[in-house]
Amino acid sequence: MQSGLGKTNKWLLEFKTKDPTKNPLMGWESSDDTLTELKIEFSSKELAINYAKKKKIEYEIIEPKKRKIVKKSYADNFLK
């Protein structure tokens, strides 16, 4: 089975967690910072960078990895 490429051409702006704390009862990581719940989608890298610069947000670009695509056919299972 191969994964599709749908919805992979988007750029995300995500905020890092400030002052994470550990919940003593459940052991989950939590924070009072609500910006960590915010994810903004952009159609291009340039739009994301321009938005971050305009709002004076420090940013780090993480380039997507190139995928190695191996074309397969169901019929190949029976040819060998």
pLDDT attached to residue 52: 94
1 band by pLDDT with thresholds 50, 70 and 90: low
Task: Determine the 3-state secondary structure of 3 from DSSP.
Answer: coil
Q: What angle do CA 47, 36, 63 make, to 5 degrees?
A: 40
For 30-77, the pLDDT digits (tens) are: 777 788 888 999 999 999 999 999 999 999 999 888 888 777 788 888
Global pTM reads 0.64
For 25-38, the pLDDT digits (tens) are: 888 877 777 888 88
Q: Which residues contact 14 (CB under 8 A, 6 or more apart)?
A: 36, 38, 39
Domain residue spans of the chain: 11-79
